[in-house]
Structure 1
C-alpha cells in the first residue's frame, strides 16, 4: 500500500520558506514564531556526538515545538540556550524573533534534524503572546513541517521526557494509569504461593528457593526516582519502591525501568498483588552499611527475567494479610511529639502557597510548596512543607477548603516553638477535588472519623473568609536578633558587595529561593496601598524618578470589611449547582460535598475597592536621579496571597502554579490579576537600601506581620512598634494596635543614617524579575 502523502504547508508558511530555500545549513526565520511546548530530558553517553561544540554543564537537554500560525515543527534546542529556559524566558506561550536553525543530516533516518541555535525572545509581546496570536487557530490540527515527528526525545536515547521543574514527577502519556494488558504467566498454574519469610530465610541461609509466587499487600509507596546519568545509555532509568507484606513478614519491592511506566501510577497502598518471576537480592540498606541487620529486597525487572505483576481483587480472610498501618496525629498531639516523629495528618486546607524550588545537596532542583491545615484540636495550624510525591495531578490541584490527607510525613522542630511537617521517602497525598478518593482507605480510622465530626460543625463561612492561595511565604519566621539568626544559620555570611548579591541572584533559576545577608543603610521608604501593581512583566531595573503621591486606603477604608463578613450569621455556605454535571443539591454543605467529591460553585463575592487620597510615599534621603536599582520597584503579582474563590478554584490553582510545558495549558498572564488580594493584605512597604560596600541600590519589599493575621503572624515578643523594632521582629507587636501607615511613615527619621544587617528572601519570579523581600533588618552597632 502506498504511503499517505505528507500534508502540504501553505505558501505563506514562514517555516517552509526558511527551511527549504537552499543548501545552506544555517537558516534564520525573520518572522515571529510561537513556542508551543518546551520538553526536558536527560543527556546520555551520545551527547558529545550531537553537541560537539557545547560546553554547557547542565545535565538537561530540551526539545521545543515552534509554530508560525500555518505549520509547526519540533526542534532540539542548543544547550547554550538552556539558560533562557532555566530563567523561564524561553517557554511555552512566548514569541521569538530571528530564530536561527542549523540543519543536520540524519543518516539513520534518511532525513534532516533541525537544531535551534539562536533566537530573541520578544518580551514586548508578553508572556502569553501565543495565546492571543493563535486564538483563532486549531493548533492541534496544524500540519507538521516535514511530516509527523517522533514524540521521543530527539537527541538522547530516552523513552520519556522529564518534568520541567523537578526530577520526581512523571510526565507524558507513556505513564499508564491502568494495568497493562498481559497474556499472563504460563507457569502460574504449576506453582503455589510462597511466604516472604521463606524467601528471606532461603536467601540469607543460601538455600535453594522453591518455585512460587508472592501474594502481598502494598503498605507504602515511594516517590519516583530518576537515576539517569550522562555516561549511561539506559532508555528508561527509573525506579520506585513498594513496602509490601504478607502474614509472615514485610519486605521492600523495587520496580525497575519500564515496569515503572507500566505500573507506578496504578499501584497504590492497600492493593493486593501477585508477584511472579522476581529476583531476590541483598537489601540496599545492608549493602551500603546503613543497616547492620541482614535483609533482602525483591527486584521486579522488565527482562532477565521479565517479572509478572497482577492485581488480586478478591482477597479471602484466611490469607491474613495485614492492614495498611496508619499513625494519624492531631495538631494538639503533635505539640508533645519529639523531633523526627513520622505520622499521618488530616485537615482542612486554608492556605496553599505558590510552588517554589531549592537546590538540594546533589545540585538538583527540589520543588515544594507550603500547605496550612486546621483540624479543630488547636488554635495553631498544621504547617506542611510539601515536596514532590510523584503525584503531579493531585499536587497541582490542591486548593483551600479541601480535605487533605498526608501520610508518612516527618515532624520538624528546628526553630521552637515553631514546628512543621515535611516529606519522607514514602509520603503520599490525598485531596478532595483532585480525583483521588479519601473515604475508602481511611473511613474506618478513628482519628479520621473525629476530624469529619469536627468538620460537620465547623463554621464554613469563617473558613472560607480566611482561605488564601499563592503569594510569598516563609516559615518558620526568622528570630528577632542577629545573634539568634546566625546561630540558626538561616542565612549566608554577610556579602562583601551588592554586586555579588546581584551576580548570585542572576544565577538563580525560575522560582528558585534563597536567603542572603547584606550590610546597608535605608535611602528611601515608600508605602504602597493594597491594589498596587508592578509596572511591567520584566522590570527589574528602572531609573529613579521624582516621587509622586500614591493612593492608600484611609483608616476608614482599612477598617472596611467585605459584605460576606457582615452577612447573615449562617454557619453553612451553600454551593449552588452550576450545570448538568453538578449533582450537588442547593442545600448541601461543604462537608457533605467533600465526602461526595461533588462540590458545586461558590457564590460570587464582591470586594469594596474604594480608596482615599490621604497618604503618600515618603523619602528619607535624596538619591541621584540617574541611578538604577536592583529588584522590583513594585510588588509582583505572584508575591501577594490571593483571596480564594471556590467558584474558580481550578483556575486559581493553575494561576499560582509553575510554568507548564505545553501551550495548551498556559493561562493568560493577567489571569492572576483578576483575583483580589487576600483580605488581610492592606499594603506593603518598599525600602530602597544602599549597600555599604559598593553603593548598589536595592529595592526590597517589606510585608509586616500584624496581630490577628494568621498568615503573616507576628512573633510572640512585645516591642514598641518603632521602625527599629518592627524591622528586627518582622512586623508589629502582637499585643498593641499597629500604627497606621501615615503614623509610621511620620517617624521615618528613625531610619536616617542607620546601619543595618538585612536578611533578604530572594525568589526569581519569572524571566529577569527578582523578588527581594526584607525578612529582618537588625541595627549594626558600632
Structure 2
C-alpha cells in the first residue's frame, strides 16, 4: 500500500513545521502556503461595522472589537523573525512570520499586521482582531497621493489566538454603496521626470524590459545572523518618454515566481520604488522598498493600475514598436553593478546597496573564502599593477574547475609553491575549502605553474609590450611537456594551455621591472587566470528564453528532473585584460579580469560619465571604457576604437604607480570565484 504521508511537504526535522527558502528568508516556501483564494459570493452584514477612526476609542473595551470593512492599499514582503536557538516549546512559534498591510476605509488608513499561521493562509489572498500601539521604527510606504488621513499611532493585529481573527475577502460587487471604500491609487512616474524627483521619493513605474542581470545575493545589513541574505537583480526598462531606461534594483518581494521570470521584452510594473542617487553618476536609479510589488506580462489582468492614464499611454507607445528593433538592444545575465564608482575615492563609500570597504591585501583571501553562493562584494585594496596580459576570444565553453585559487608560497628555501584552493563552506553544496596539494600533484583537479617553469617561460617575454612570436608547433610542444610534468589533467584546466596556439600568438604581455623578484617573495597569490563566461551578458531571444532564465537565475529549491542540454547564445566580448595586482605590502598578489565597456549599447554603459580620455591603459582602468563611447552610431558609420596593441603602447605608465583598486567579487558556485577589476584610483 502506498504511504501517502511520505508525500507531505514537511521539513525533515520533525520539531520544525516550516521550511526556509534556500536563498533568502523572505519568500514563501512549501505547500503550507495556500494560493490566492477565490472570493465567495456571500451576503455582507454591515450593520455593526466600525470605522478605522473609531478604533482608538475601542482600545481596552471588554465587549471586543467590531468588524472592519477595509481595502488593502499596500502589502509588504514577508518578514521572518524566527530564531533557530529557541528550545523552549512554549516560546517556540511554529510559523514565525509577519507581514504588514496598509488598509483604508472612508475615514483614513491604518497598518494591519498578519502574524504567524495567518500568513500561510492569507498572505497570498487577503471579524475579530486586536488593536495595539504601532511599532515606531518600521518602514512605511509613502501614501500622500491617497489624500487620506493616516492613523499611525495604532495598528490592527491579526492572529490565530489571543483574540481569534476571522478574515473574509469580499468581492467588489458585494460592497455596499454606503460603505464606499477608497480606490487603490498609484503614482506612476515617467523616465523623463525621474531626474526631478528628490532622493527617497516613492513612485510606481511601468516599462518594457531590455536588460535583466543575474540574480545575486548580499548580506542583510540589519541582521548579523549567518543566514540572512537578500536576493536582487538589476533591470533596465524603457517607457517611451526618454531614450534612457529606468535602472531598477529589484529585491525579491515574496513573489519568487515573478522575480525569477523577469526577462527582456516583458512589460514590468514595480510599485513603491524609491529614488536613489549614487556618488558616481548623475543618473538616478530606483530601488525596492519593503512594500514593493512587481508584475510582469501575464499578471496584469485585473490589477487596479490598468486604468491609470500613464499605463494607457505606455501601452499605446508599445504598439508603435517593432520587436526586431527592440530585440537587438536586449541582453541578459552577466556581471552588472550600479551606480558607477565615483571619480574620487573616499572612505566610507557606498555604491548602490554595496558598501565599499578598503581592506588590507592580506585580508582579501579571507574575504574570498567567506563568500556564499552568488554573494556579491565590492572591496578596495591598495597596491601596484605588476603584470598585464591581453586575452582574445574567451572560450564559449567553461572549465569544470575553479576561476580563482589561492596559491600560498612556501618558505624562501622552497623551489616550488603550494597550491591552495579557495572554497568556502556553502549552504547549497556543503563543500569546504582548505584542500592543499603540491603543484604537481596528480590528485589536483587543476594544474599550476611552478616557479621554475614560470621563470623559464617569462625569460622569453620582454618587459615591454610585444607580441609573442612562438610558432604553433613550439606552443603545442610546450603545452604537451608541461601537461606531462604537471600530471594528468584536462586541457581546460591548464593555466596557459587553455588557449589554442592561435590565441597564444595574439596575447600581449607586460610586467613591471621588479615583478620577477617580487613574485618569489609572495606569501599568497590569488589566481584567476580567465574571465568566466557567467561574467558576460548574452543576447536575448525568445527561443533561448528558458535556458537564459535558468542560467541567470538561482538553482531551484526543489529537485527537478535533468533538463536536456541547451545551447546558450554566444557572449559578445572580443577580449579582456588579465591584471595582476601586487598589494602595498608586496606579500599578497591577486589576479583580476578587466573587461572595458566598448559600446554604448553595453548595459554597463548606462550612467557612465563619458568624459573623453586618451585611451591609455591607465585611463581605461580609471574610467572603465574605451573612448569614444557616444550614442549608437548609424550602421554606415564606423567608430574606430583603439586596438589592444595601441593601448599596450602606454602600459609603461603603470610602472610603480600607487593605486587604489576596486574589486568586484562574486561566488559562482563550486570553487568558481569571480574577481573583476572595476576601477582604479591614482594615489597622490
TM range (shorter): 0.7 to 0.9
What SS is found at the alignment partner of 2:620? helix
Find out whether 1:161 has 2:64 as its counterpart.
Answer: no
Report what 2:133 is aligned to. Answer: 282
* Structure 1 pair 265–550 and aligned structure 2 pair: CA distance change class (3 A): farther
Take 2:516 and 2:265, find their aligned partners in 1: how far apart are those partners?
Answer: 47
Find out whether 1:389 has 2:253 as its counterpart.
Answer: yes
1:298-317 map, 5 Å: 298-313=156-171, 314=173, 315-317=175-177
Report what 1:453 is aligned to. Answer: 316
Report what 1:691 is aligned to. Answer: 583
Find out whether 1:731 has 2:594 as its counterpart.
Answer: no
What SS is found at the alignment partner of 1:366? strand
Report what 1:196 is aligned to. Answer: 52
Find out whether 1:750 has 2:642 as its counterpart.
Answer: no
Report what 1:25 is aligned to. Answer: none
- Say whether the 8 Å CA contact 1:526–1:687 is kept in structure 2: yes
Report what 2:292 is aligned to. Answer: 427
- Say whether the 8 Å CA contact 1:631–1:771 is kept in structure 2: no
What SS is found at the alignment partner of 1:686? strand
Take 1:190 and 1:378, find their aligned partners in 2: how far apart are those partners?
Answer: 49
Take 1:649 and 1:266, find their aligned partners in 2: how far apart are those partners?
Answer: 30
Report what 2:531 is aligned to. Answer: 635
Take 1:287 and 1:469, find their aligned partners in 2: how far apart are those partners?
Answer: 35
Take 1:346 and 1:245, find their aligned partners in 2: how far apart are those partners?
Answer: 25
* Structure 1 pair 743–382 and aligned structure 2 pair: CA distance change class (3 A): same
- Say whether the 8 Å CA contact 1:706–1:732 is kept in structure 2: yes
Q: Deviations over 1:658-689 (max 9, x none)?
A: 12223316657x75x62221x4x332221122
- Say whether the 8 Å CA contact 1:352–1:371 is kept in structure 2: yes
- Say whether the 8 Å CA contact 1:620–1:751 is kept in structure 2: no
1:143-182 map, 5 Å: 148=6, 151-155=9-13, 157-179=15-37
Report what 1:29 is aligned to. Answer: none
Where structure 2 has 5 or more consecutive residues not aligned to the other structure, the ranges are 142-149, 406-446, 462-466, 470-501, 631-638
Cα shift at 1:438: 4.6
- Say whether the 8 Å CA contact 2:104–2:181 is kept in structure 1: yes
Report what 2:559 is aligned to. Answer: 663
Report what 1:380 is aligned to. Answer: 244
Using structure 1 for the length normalisation, give the TM-score: 0.66
What SS is found at the alignment partner of 1:663? coil
Report what 2:389 is aligned to. Answer: 526
Take 2:169 and 2:672, find their aligned partners in 1: how far apart are those partners?
Answer: 50
* Structure 1 pair 723–445 and aligned structure 2 pair: CA distance change class (3 A): same
**Which one of 100, 105, 122 corresponds to residue 241 of structure 1?**
100
Report what 2:508 is aligned to. Answer: 617
Q: Deviations over 1:347-374 (max 9, x none)?
A: 0101111111111221321111111111
Tell me the matched-pair count.
560
Report what 2:667 is aligned to. Answer: 764
**Which one of 326, 339, 345 corresponds to residue 476 of structure 1?**
339
* Structure 1 pair 493–283 and aligned structure 2 pair: CA distance change class (3 A): closer
Take 1:219 and 1:289, find their aligned partners in 2: how far apart are those partners?
Answer: 12
**Which one of 653, 671, 678 corresponds to residue 775 of structure 1?**
678
Take 1:722 and 1:484, find their aligned partners in 2: how far apart are those partners?
Answer: 27
- Say whether the 8 Å CA contact 1:534–1:634 is kept in structure 2: no
Cα shift at 1:297: 1.4
Q: Deviations over 1:478-530 (max 9, x none)?
A: 0233359859897655433x331011210121111111111222232222334
What SS is found at the alignment partner of 2:340? coil
Take 2:504 and 2:373, find their aligned partners in 1: how far apart are those partners?
Answer: 37
What SS is found at the alignment partner of 1:688? strand
Report what 1:709 is aligned to. Answer: 601
Take 1:438 and 1:404, find their aligned partners in 2: how far apart are those partners?
Answer: 13
Report what 2:488 is aligned to. Answer: none
- Say whether the 8 Å CA contact 1:534–1:635 is kept in structure 2: no
- Say whether the 8 Å CA contact 1:192–1:213 is kept in structure 2: yes
Take 1:662 and 1:289, find their aligned partners in 2: how far apart are those partners?
Answer: 34
* Structure 1 pair 665–480 and aligned structure 2 pair: CA distance change class (3 A): farther
What SS is found at the alignment partner of 1:479? coil
Take 2:350 and 2:103, find their aligned partners in 1: how far apart are those partners?
Answer: 43
* Structure 1 pair 237–485 and aligned structure 2 pair: CA distance change class (3 A): closer
- Shifted more, 410-419 versus 636-645: the winner is 410-419
- Say whether the 8 Å CA contact 2:358–2:380 is kept in structure 1: yes
- Say whether the 8 Å CA contact 1:371–1:384 is kept in structure 2: yes
* Structure 1 pair 525–257 and aligned structure 2 pair: CA distance change class (3 A): same
What SS is found at the alignment partner of 1:654? helix
Where structure 1 has 5 or more consecutive residues not aligned to the other structure, the ranges are 7-143, 268-275, 552-610
1:34-53 map, 5 Å: none
Cα shift at 1:210: 7.1
What SS is found at the alignment partner of 1:371? strand
Find out whether 1:653 has 2:549 as its counterpart.
Answer: yes
Cα shift at 1:724: 1.6
Find out whether 1:335 has 2:240 as its counterpart.
Answer: no
Cα shift at 1:303: 2.2
Cα shift at 1:190: 10
Report what 2:76 is aligned to. Answer: 222
Q: Deviations over 1:514-572 (max 9, x none)?
A: 11111222232222334435543324235246589899xxxxxxxxxxxxxxxxxxxxx
* Structure 1 pair 183–462 and aligned structure 2 pair: CA distance change class (3 A): closer
Take 1:305 and 1:182, find their aligned partners in 2: how far apart are those partners?
Answer: 24
Using structure 2 for the length normalisation, give the TM-score: 0.74
Cα shift at 1:211: 5.7
What SS is found at the alignment partner of 1:311? coil
Find out whether 1:321 has 2:181 as its counterpart.
Answer: yes
What SS is found at the alignment partner of 2:510? coil
